[in-house]
Amino acid sequence: MIIVNVKENESIDKALKRFKKKFEKTGVLKELRGRSYFEKKSVSRRNQVIRAAYRQRLQQGLVAE
């Protein structure tokens, strides 16, 4: 459970921003989306390799933005 202590004279917007940051760091939403459907191991490995190759090309500057 995520707990955000609101300080005195702190706006709700700032507290909400801190909550969103903590929520994003935990990776709850990412895990939930990943569990929404089953993906075979071979498919997940293939996607991982494709993502790694894309990142490598980005670092080398071969992908046009």
pTM over 0.85: no
**Is the model's pLDDT at 17 over the cut of 90?**
yes
Residue range 3-9: mean pLDDT, rounded: 89
Q: Distances from the Cα of 60 to the Cαs of 46, 47, 48, in angstroms? A: 21, 20, 19
Scanning the structure block, which residue is given the tokens 């490598």? 56
Per-residue model confidence (pLDDT) at position 64: 62
**Is the model's pLDDT at 55 over the cut of 90?**
yes
Instruction: Tell me the Cα Rg of the chain.
Output: 19
Separation of alpha carbons 36 and 13, rounded Å? 31
Per-residue model confidence (pLDDT) at position 37: 87
Q: Distances from the Cα of 44 to the Cαs of 35, 41, 48, 54, in angstroms? A: 13, 5, 6, 15
- Residue 53's SS3 state is helix
**Is the model's pLDDT at 63 over the cut of 80?**
no
